[in-house]
Amino acid sequence: MSGAEVYAALFGGQVDPDWESYASCREVDADLFFPEERESAGRVKAICRSCSVRDECLATAIRRGESHGIWGGMTARERGALARSLRDDGFAVPRAARRPA
């Protein structure tokens, strides 16, 4: 996918406010999506790959500046790299919100 296609998929339209009710993870233990450092995220990412609202989930995490967990099949580090890459390509991508300490 090109940067433009990724951007359009993530930020090109309105996000259904009820997207979470369609998520593949809705009946899975939420703790799985917050693995300990160095713990594999492969099992969780497999759930995300088959999810019909993966883009909405990922866009929501980037917009909110989520700094933990697996969202839309990506870790916080992967989401940050994606957002930086899109910004470098000239797309208006929200910067991660700073969380109070």
d(CA 23, CA 101): 30
Tokens of 4: 């433009």
Strand partners, 71: 74
Tokens of 28: 């899975």
* Residue 57 labeled ligand binder: yes
* Residue 38 labeled ligand binder: no
Tokens of 65: 């500046």
- Only one residue has tokens 């910067």, namely 95
Cite the annotated binding site for [4Fe-4S] cluster by residue number. Answer: 25, 48, 51, 57
Cite the annotated binding site by residue number. Answer: 25, 48, 51, 57
